[in-house]
Amino acid sequence: MGYRGQVLDNPVTGERFVFHATSEDTAGKLLEFDLVVEPHGRVPGGHVHPGQQESFEVLDGTVKFRKGLRTVIAEPGDLVVVEAGTYHRFANAGDTTAVVRCRVEPAMRMEELFETVAALAAEGRTMRSGLPKPLDLALFMREFQDEVAAPVMPGLVQAVMTPLASLASRRGLGERYQRQQQVQRVPVLVEPQMIRDRDPAAGCSRCGLGPVLRRRRGAGPGPALRRWLRAAGLVTWCTPLGVLIGGLTWLTASRPYPATSPAAPMTSSCTEHELIYRL
């Protein structure tokens, strides 16, 4: 997570980010930073922010913006506002360093996005244009799909990127994003103590919800139906119906539950049941 005063350098695109107000400082409302662009430096590629407005105030130098179908040459004192969902890109149009005060509203995860782009460039995992290499780009687009999207047919681009992202994950390229992710706690819908009072034998050693959820999780089609689904899936594997059947087969497959340890202190979150809720 970014912090006030943090400096990020992208050696490929010639950009430097200097954070002034981060998501944490503004309760997620705003990210404000100075963007220092070397002569002939540029943003890696044209893009769209689906749910964020971005404004650029030129403090020094000359910057060429492409906003939708318009081209804008901005000089010190000029302000360019790019509304959410609008295609844009920019580059330093002069022979001196340009400085632009940027504001992104709301901040969302833009700090992490900039940190990731700078890290990929430093590790040599970008192309000459500054865009990540294909497998890294697929992971990047999947991870930050709420912050950035392709300017043309974003849904189709995302569909094409999905199998590439899966391949990249299998090759271990997604560890960076796993470190960034935080555990999402699942709210407890029923007080564990109430379940224990009603049925002393109920409850896993962690939160008391285990047997209740296990009975729900165990319900469903029996082995005969699962065998039929597998057979039908083999016959129609190359059709959309086959894909659907394959998915149903996976969902109805029985999976063992992790063993629970002896009684442990009650906590507000249980990893075992988080996994069950998500499935």
How confident is the model over 231-254, as pLDDT tens digits? 544 444 445 555 554 555 444 444
Across the beta sheet with 7-10, the strand order is 7-10, 15-21, 31-37, 98-105, 53-60, 79-82
- The overall average pLDDT reported for the chain is 76
Report the range out of 1-5, 15-19, 165-169 with the highest average pLDDT.
15-19
pLDDT more than 70, % of the chain: 64
For residues 121 and 113, give the distance between their C-alpha atoms in angstroms, rounded to a whole number: 12
For residues 208 and 130, which has the higher predicted lDDT (pLDDT)? 130
Peptide bond into 240 cis (omega under 30): no
Contact 30, 107 (CB under 8 A): yes
The pLDDT of residue 193:
42
Domains, the chain, with CATH or none = 7-109 (2.60.120.10), 114-179 (no CATH), 192-278 (no CATH)
Least confident of 3-17, 21-35, 186-200: 186-200
pLDDT at residue 224 tops 80: no
Q: Give long-range contacts, CB 8 A cutoff, 24+ apart: 177-182.
A: 177/139, 177/143, 180/112, 180/143
- Answer whether 47's CB lies under 8 Å from 151's CB: yes
Nearest to 96 by CA among 79, 111, 75: 75
Res 266 pLDDT > 50? no
Tell whether the model's pLDDT for residue 205 goes beyond 90.
no
Write out the H or E segment, with its range, that includes residue 275. Answer: helix 271-278
Consecutive H or E run containing 125:
none
217 vs 199 pLDDT, higher one: 199
What residues contact residue 230 under an 8 Å CB cut-off, 6+ apart?
A: 249
What is the residue whose two structure tokens read 């650029």?
A: 56
pLDDT on residue 244: 53
pLDDT-based confidence at residue 19 (cuts at 50, 70, 90) = very high
At residue 23, does pLDDT exceed 70? Answer: yes
Chain centroid, CA 177 distance in Å = 8
Bridge partners (DSSP) listed for residue 88: 47, 67
